[in-house]
Amino acid sequence: MHVEHADGEKFCCPECDRQLACYDHVSERRWRHLDTMQYRTILHAKPPRVKCPEHGVKQVNLPWAEKNSRFTVFFEQFAIAVLLATQTVQGAAGILRTSWDETWHIVKKVVARVKARKTDTVVQRIGIDKKAFRKGQNYITLIYDLDRSTVEVISDGNDTEAGNARFSQLSQSQRDGVEAIAMDISAAYVKAAKASIPLADTKIVHARFHVMKLSTEAADKVRRGEHRKLDAEGDKRLSRTRYLWLSSQEKLSEHQRERFDAVYTQQLEIGKAWAYKEMLRALWHHDDSASETVYFRDWYKRVIHTKLTPLKKVAKTIAERLANVVSYCTHRITNAVAESMNSKIMSIKRRVGGYRYRENFKTAVYFYRGGLNLYPH
């Protein structure tokens, strides 16, 4: 399809909207348009330019495509819909009959455009979590909107510097508007939050998931140590029982529960560690922080007088951060959204066999999980 304009037609300066006569044309360009039936459709045109007294010679805005785009607006809208439906660049490219590079270019362009026009909307309740980009100490840190279940900010790393970089992407009004922050028990995240968020001490909530993860890992250390001792004596009671101690009772099958009961009644160290781990779960069943604090102190006294060294370390860690654990009763937030989003983010990575470049991975996260209005205006 070839498009031309009528002789004598006037156009607006893209800077000031002043109506001007056509000055000249740039060389012919091509845009991929929606297919006509089963036929790929290409739009050809020589975009006109105007000579504005104030802004000089400028190419006019075209009604069918955005500046520097290789696709018409209609095609781009359809491509976005296909990308969201297929959840993969390769799958969308097959339907659109475009190359991988062309399809990925749409993703990058859309994310850049949306981020440029994004307003400083206040996110009152946020979650902070890290996600491994590759194996080893290679992380990205994300800020989530807990109410909308969207990714708001991504920064490289998981230390204090990464935390500062993450918060710096929020405007001052957004930082001032934060009312509660869910995060793990990370000194780096706490330090970054206190440096950026006003009154962060009263807003931080160490999420239940992360606190219980610490206690579960501690119980597993007890199991491993005890299993090594028993195994050295030829005692196989704890062989293949890891799942039984890591899981809560309600998640066990009838057969697993019978096996668990048979080992638990033998008064092993892992049985005690498991019991204290399960007692800690009740910490979040209280109505106010005062009763939560009383419950924890009683639990702490019980644990600290045992010989369960890994669990004692966890008890001391929680005690140091207790104010930001019991603050759950004030803010009633958890990092469950973050954990759910993490699995969705990793599914994006798995579908394409992983992203080689960190920036591409971040772009894909924004596109698929950013809750952005992706379509062109």
Last residue of a domain, one of 64, 88, 106: 64
Rounded Cα distance between 185 and 298, Å, is 21
Q: Are residues 168 and 225 in the same domain?
A: no
- CATH for 143: 3.30.420
Max Cα-Cα span within the chain: 98
Q: At what angle do helices 358-369 and 336-351 cross, to 10 degrees?
A: 120
Q: Are residues 240 and 312 in the same domain?
A: yes
376 assigned to some structural domain = no
374 assigned to some structural domain = no
Q: Which two tokens stand for residue 77?
A: 């809208």
Rounded Cα distance between 49 and 23, Å, is 5
32 assigned to some structural domain = yes
Cβ atoms of 128 and 182 within 8 Å: the answer is: yes
| Pairing label, strands 2-3, 39-45 | parallel
Long-range contacts, 86-94 (Cβ 8 Å, 24+): 87/347, 87/348, 87/351, 87/368, 88/351, 88/352, 89/352, 90/352
Q: 257-309: per-residue pLDDT in tens?
A: 898 998 888 889 999 999 999 999 999 999 999 999 999 999 999 999 999 99
Q: Are residues 251 and 293 in the same domain?
A: yes
Q: 153-174: per-residue pLDDT in tens?
A: 888 887 888 778 778 888 889 9
Predicted TM-score of the model (pTM): 0.79
Q: 209-223: per-residue pLDDT in tens?
A: 889 999 999 999 999
Rounded Cα distance between 118 and 112, Å, is 10
Q: Are residues 130 and 113 in the same domain?
A: no
346 assigned to some structural domain = no
Cβ atoms of 348 and 365 within 8 Å: the answer is: yes
**Helix, strand or coil, per DSSP, at residue 17:** coil
Q: 257-271: per-residue pLDDT in tens?
A: 898 998 888 889 999
350 assigned to some structural domain = no
- As a whole-number percent, the residues of the chain with pLDDT over 90 amount to 59
**Degrees (nearest 5) of the Cα angle 349, 352, 353?**
80
Q: Are residues 98 and 46 in the same domain?
A: no
Q: What is the extent of the structural domain holding 17?
A: 1-64
Separation in Å, CA 172 to CA 164, 185, 244: 13, 25, 48
Q: Which two tokens stand for residue 299?
A: 């639990």
Last residue of a domain, one of 117, 143, 178: 117
Q: 51-94: per-residue pLDDT in tens?
A: 999 999 999 999 999 988 999 999 999 999 999 999 889 899 99
Number of structural domains found in the chain:
4
Cβ atoms of 111 and 104 within 8 Å: the answer is: no
Cβ atoms of 278 and 251 within 8 Å: the answer is: no
Rounded Cα distance between 156 and 365, Å, is 13
**How many C-beta atoms lie closer than 10 Å to residue 347's C-beta?**
11
**Helix, strand or coil, per DSSP, at residue 60:** coil
